[in-house]
Structures are given as C-alpha cells and as structure tokens.
Chain A
C-alpha cells in the first residue's frame, strides 16, 4: 500500500505543469465533465480566497471559526463526480465549504451562511462549520472532530435497511482518526457491513500537530486493518485518481460488500483556521506543495489532452471570479435573520405548554 506524497514539480506556466499520469485507471469522462470538474475546483478555490478576504478585511463580515479548503479541492470534486444525488449521502467534518459547493450549493447560499444571513443554507443558524443541503444529499459539516463518523454509519445503515442502493461518503481530516468515535464507528460499520466509504483527507497536520506527532503509525490507511476493511492511500490532489479509487469503494458498497477506508494525501494551503500563523511548517514546504496544486495538475492535464487551452481556462477563471463577486455582493445585501427566528427549528413537533 503505497503512500503517495506530493512530488516536486516546476510548472512552466500558471495553468500547466509537467505532470506524470497517475490516472491511467481513471474512468474516461466526457470532455465537458472534465471541464466541469476543473470549473468546480476553481470555484471552490476562488470562493475560499474570497472567504479569507471577507474574514480578514476591516469590517469583518464572517465571525467565529472558519476553515478553508484551498489545496484539497480534488477530493471533494472527485467524490461529487461519482455521487448519485438520488440516493447517495455525504457527511463531513467542519472543513465543509468545498464539498457543499461541489454538490451544487449556490455560492451565494454558502456565503450567506458564512455571513449569518437569513438566506444562508441553514438560515444563519449553522455557520461555516455546519453547511447542510439535505435535498442534494449533503448531511452537513460537523463541528466536533470525529462526531460525524458514527452518524455516517447510521446513514449507511438506513440505506441498507431501506435497500436504496445508496452509499454514504463520510469525510474527515487526519486528526479525526485519533478520536474514539472513529474506532467505534469503523468497527460497527464493518460489523453491520454498511454501504459507506470513509475518506480521510490527510493534509498532514491536525490543526498544528503533524501526522508524525499525532499518530503512532503515520500510514493512516493501516488503521482500517483492525476493522477488516479494504483500505488504500492515494494521491488526493489528482482528481482522477480520487474518482478511480472512490468508484471502486462505492461499487463495493453498492454490491453489499461493506465499507472501505480511503486516505487521500493532500495539503492545505491555508492555516487550520483563520487565526493560524502556520508556524508548524516552513515557507519552503508550502511553496513545494503548491507545485503539486490539484488545480494546476488538472488544468495541465486538460491542456495536454487538448480538452481546453490555457486561454480558455483563464477565461473560465475570470468568469468564476465574477460569479463569486456577484454571489458575495448578493449575500452581503441579503437580510439578517428575523430575531424571532432564533426560536424556530428546535423541535419538529409542537407540544402543549411549551414556551
């Protein structure tokens, strides 16, 4: 089980790099789908950059904890590419902006939630760490590390119980593998043979603690051995590698062969959260990782394949810039929640005598 580490490369231009093909076994997507995947990766990157600006600039519009996804886009976009909205479900930790956008949440709805506005996906009651879009199968970002993993087992249990043929994709960071909930949930998932795919986005650092300092064995995929679960570590920065591996895992789940455990090795370009000065890694490490940027890798590949030209990618990037500008302006102009709405959405039922 090879652990694929980011490889040093020097891109000749902004949108291309000398990329070795690691996606030989990837499914052949139509050119338009390849373009769409690059578009969503760019959308996430531009959204997160804008989020960073809105958080840090004077008159800060975003409060609380906020965790950016920049650098990890290939994982969410790869999962979304094989996600069947009619029956599949996704659940996540708190670094959840990217997955929400990848599953189709409009940037305005996501940004409005970050602003705490009434038009946000959770009407301003969730915030950055808790983006939900249930109609599209997005069962949320979850703020407590590892808390979502047992929920994923239950969601997959329901899919099996109701024979929907659906799969639950459960995302977590590398820090989550040291929570008790992780071990408990993976054990029960295997015992119940539920159709789940557990995906660790291993960006190498749990907040500020490097994987070598937080896990006795930094080859995290091996954690699944004790649960007799198929497992693999892959290059999480190559969207087609992600698609290939998650497809195999999803096929196993749909066939009734139970859960899988996939470690996607990646790198986050921003800090853990907004207050993080990233003293735990050098500028050189970050610069080196940027040579293995998932967006650069994929744009270079599309240029190599003749699917897009660099000019077309630049034009698409500009278009997304404008789209994010517009979404942010709309979210900014959107209304704040009515103060009385703080009392709604607590219970589904009404009870006699309840205030």
Chain B
C-alpha cells in the first residue's frame, strides 16, 4: 500500500472530489498561486484553473461568507483557513450563517461546505496562533466537526466531508501535515459521526483525537500495555460532532474506567463536554471517576519549553491511569 504524507492525503481527497463533481471548488488565502501556505493545495491551480482554485485576500469574513453563500446556491465549496485561530475574526459567518441558516429558513436551504485548516498548538506560534477551536464549534447545532489523526483518516474523512450536505469543520494540525501513513490507491470513504477503536482492551478506555493522539496518547497507551500490564482500549473519537456515543459508552461499560486526553483548556473544554455525555449513563459501571487530561489553564506561551510544559505529557498520562487503579 502506498505511504503518503498527511497533506498529500488531503490534497488527493480534494482532487478526487473535484474531478468527480464540478460543483466543488477551493477558496482560501494563498491556495492557488502560492500553492498553499502549508502546500496542501500544491499543483491544484494548474490542474483546475483559477475559477475552481481561488486565491482570496486576507479577509476571512469575506471568503468564508462567499463559501457559505455559494453553498446556499448549489455549489460545494472547500474553504481553507490558513489557521483555525484566524476564524475568530469571522465567527459570525460560521456560527450564525453556516450553522443557523438551514434552521432559520425552516429547512429551505442546505449548506454543503467544508471549512478546513490547521488547528491548535503547533510550534512556538504564540498565544494568538495556537487556539484550539474544537469546543467552540462542537457546541453548535448545525455543524459537523471532524479531527483526523492519520493520512488514511484524513483522506477518507475529507472525501466524506466534501460529499456531506451539512457544514463540516475539518480540523488539521500543522504538526502532523508531514506525518506519513498507508493510504490505499482505490477509493474509500470513512463515515462522519463514527469513532475508531484503534486498540481493543479490557481495563481502561482512553479517548483522544487529532494531534495529541499522534503526539503522545498512542505512545502512552503502548507504555501502559507493555510496562504496566494495563489492557488499554484506545478510541480515536475522530468525529467531535456528532459524537459516537454508542461506541464510547459500550467501551466504558466494558472497561469500567475512562480517561479523556486532549490539548484544549480544561474548563469548558472539549473533553469536559465529552465527559458530561459519558458520566451519567456509565455512573453505575465506573470503578473510578472519569479523568480529563488537558493542557494548562494559561495562554499559549512562546518559549518552546514553556509551550511543551503546558501540554499533556506521556508521564502525566501514565501516572494518571495508574492512579485510577489505585497504584
């Protein structure tokens, strides 16, 4: 099976869907002549021309709104944000227009659009460029929120997102765009709203998604299994809204323990929202309180050491899980 980079998986998904459906187009800052700020759209301008690969000015409200307006009229836009942090300046377009128009029109309008770009803490980008927007968007009825954790997931989920008739928030990470993984040549789709059980186990359910899964959670799971004899069930949540509660609840009822790990702030964080969904239905099944491991409650610092220190660590995860077993 071919091994390709995460960014290439994203590009292949977009190219395949644009070849399949001429209503699909890409718009964003530097996506065309510059080949993409992170080179995700490299070569796409040459392939599809300036009508379908559209450079936008640094004007998030305008091009996000353009995408939504075009989607209301039958096109299927892919809007690339150079960073999800920049969507703080166009939140109204996403939270009011993309999410609410279908409802406010009594179902007269559908909005098939994908908003994609890099999310979260990368590498010394400072507090303004390191926002994790998943909780903000996952709260909103009308939106679908997806965070892939491998090239295989990226391609399959992005193709589904492009074919989806609802607005999809697609969260990538700068730090995993160069990650490599196996991606089959033949076409495949991965369903939205379905979690992926990466490892089955019987002792503890570990829930994570996106970059922290690739950075630290998979390694921590290996350590717990190999060095501490704890049989981990590792679930990539993958779809933050809708949340695949059926898979998650079944797992927690089986293992009787659950820990959620992400890189959000803890208070009102993504994991806190997920915890609330799990806690009551599994209360009688739990052998320990559900744990939520998140980043420190601070603005994201510039200094590399400080930045690293605020994130969930391998040791922290291993210690917390052991404590759940009274060790």
Contact = CB atoms under 8 A, between A and B. Distances in A.
Contacts of A188: 56-57, 59, 62-63, 66
B104 A132 contact: yes
Contacts of A352: 191, 193-194, 242, 244, 246
Interface stretch (A144-152, A197-205, A255-263, A273-281): A144-152
B226 interface: no
Nearest to B73: A158
Q: Which of B57, B72, B77, B92 has the most CB of A within 10 A?
A: B72
A150 B74 CA distance: 16
A274 B67 CA distance: 34
A2 interface: no
A349 B105 contact: no
B252 to A, nearest CB: 15
A121 B103 contact: no
Interface residues of B, number: 54
Contacts of B102: 345-348
B191 A158 contact: no
A344 B102 CA distance: 10
A115 interface: no
Contact of B62 (A89, A122, A139, A184): A184
B105 A151 contact: no
A187 interface: yes
A122 B166 CA distance: 18
A348 B110 contact: yes
B275 interface: no
B101 interface: yes
A120 interface: yes
Contact of A147 (B51, B63, B93): B93
Nearest to B111: A348
Nearest to A343: B141
Contacts of B57: 184, 187-188, 191
B105 A122 contact: yes
Contacts of A156: 69
Interface string A24-66: 0000000000000000000000000000000000000000000
A140 interface: yes
A162 interface: yes
A149 B65 CA distance: 8
Q: Which of B97, B141, B244 has the most CB of A within 10 A?
A: B97
A185 to B, nearest CB: 5
Contact of A132 (B106, B144, B192): B106
Interface in B75-123: 75, 77, 92-93, 96-97, 101-112
Contacts of B73: 89, 139, 154-155, 158-159, 162
B104 A125 contact: yes
A151 B65 contact: yes
Given A188-B63, A349-B166, A352-B194, A158 B51 contact: no
Contacts of A161: 25, 51, 70, 75
A327 to B, nearest CB: 19
A335 B17 CA distance: 44
Interface residues of A, number: 51
A229 B59 CA distance: 18
B245 interface: yes
A161 B70 CA distance: 9
Nearest to B54: A192
Nearest to A161: B75
A144 B194 contact: no
A153 interface: yes
Contacts of A159: 73
Interface string B30-71: 000000000000000000000100101101011111111111
B194 A181 contact: no
Interface in A321-355: 344-349, 351-354
A347 B97 CA distance: 14
A185 B68 CA distance: 13
B68 A151 contact: yes
Given A153-B66, A188-B66, A354-B242, A140 B61 contact: no
B192 A351 contact: yes
B107 A345 contact: yes
Given A150-B64, A153-B62, A154-B68, A344 B242 contact: no
Interface string B288-311: 000000000000000000000000
Contacts of B207: none
A156 B107 CA distance: 22
Given A348-B110, A354-B193, A139 B72 contact: yes
B164 interface: yes
A307 interface: no
A180 interface: yes
Contacts of A135: 108
A134 B69 CA distance: 13
Contacts of B166: 347-349
B212 interface: no
B109 A153 contact: no
Interface of A: 89, 91, 120-126, 130, 132-135, 139-140, 142-144, 147, 149-159, 161-162, 180-181, 184-185, 187-188, 191-192, 344-349, 351-354
Given A147-B96, A162-B73, 16 more contacts: A89-B73, A120-B106, A122-B104, A122-B106, A142-B97, A150-B93, A158-B74, A158-B75, A161-B75, A181-B61, A181-B93, A184-B57, A185-B65, A349-B166, A352-B244, A354-B242
Shortest beta-carbon contacts, A-B, top 9:
A150-B65, A154-B69, A345-B107, A151-B69, A122-B106, A184-B62, A351-B193, A158-B73, A348-B165
17 contacts: A123-B107, A124-B106, A132-B105, A132-B108, A139-B109, A150-B66, A151-B72, A153-B62, A154-B66, A161-B70, A161-B75, A181-B61, A181-B92, A184-B61, A191-B57, A344-B107, A353-B245
Interface of B: 25, 51, 54, 56-57, 59, 61-75, 77, 92-93, 96-97, 101-112, 141-142, 144, 164-166, 191-194, 242-247
